[in-house]
Amino acid sequence: MPELLNLSIDRIHTPVGELLLVADVAGNVRAVDWSDYESRMLRLLALHYGKDGYRLEPVRNPHGLRDAIDRYFAGEVSVIDGIAVRSGGTPFQRGVWSELRKIPSGSAISYGELAKRIARPKAVRAVGLANGANPIGIVVPCHRVIGANGSLTGYGGGIERKKWLLEHERKYAK
């Protein structure tokens, strides 16, 4: 029987709603989502770690991660670059998610450009699906991917939050 994965969950107030942050005992962020999408986050955790493969314990500021998120929302947008993450997902998804972390704060790229960056230029749809399945929003900045025409297409937290996050990062990016 696999060992139970012990995870902490913190609920963080932000200017655009309550953010849920899930971390493991080593301080790796395993999930980030908005509280109004908590059921989706729990489904993703069950998908990646098994329905009975993890335990969530409420913890305030696990490994200083709340402090880092608070600093991000206060304008120190590059602070998320140093946050350690670990997730399930397929090798393709993890490749897309890894590439997302290379998009600088204050900028955005298209799905097509993201596909090119992972050397899969024809996999635009698959890249879009992987981007949409990202379990670690903000820290793995899927909000920095936009439509080829510059439109704010899809974001799991809602288009208004995506717009806010992009404007926030543009304002404070160095």
Q: Which phi and psi (to 5°) does residue 57 adopt? A: -125, 125
Q: What is the CATH number of the domain that holds 95?
A: 1.10.10.10
- Once rounded to an integer, what is the mean pLDDT over residues 126-144? 94
Q: How far is CA 131 from CA 28, 110, 123, 137, 158, in A?
A: 20, 11, 12, 10, 14
Specify whether 33 is located in the same domain as 55. yes
- Among 57, 82, 107, identify where a domain stops: 82
- pLDDT given at position 63: 96
Question: For residues 165 and 120, what is the distance between their CA atoms, to the nearest angstrom?
Answer: 27
Q: Do residues 31 and 136 make contact, with C-beta atoms less than 8 angstroms apart?
A: yes
Q: Are 34 and 95 in a shared domain?
A: no
Range of the structural domain that residue 70 is part of: 5-82
Which of 30, 48, 82 delimits the end of a domain? 82
% pLDDT > 90, the chain: 84
Domain harbouring 68, CATH code = 3.30.160
| 142 catalytic per annotation | yes
Calculate the alpha carbon distances from 138 to 1, 144, 155 in Å: 33, 9, 11
Pair (71, 143) in one structural domain: no
At residue 103, the pLDDT reads: 96
Mean pLDDT over residues 30-50, rounded? 93
pTM given for the model? 0.93
Residue at a domain's end among 50, 82, 114: 82
45 within 8 A of 150, measured Cβ to Cβ:
no
- Report pLDDT for 164: 96
Domains: count for the chain = 2
Q: Which of 45, 77, 142, 145 is catalytic?
A: 142
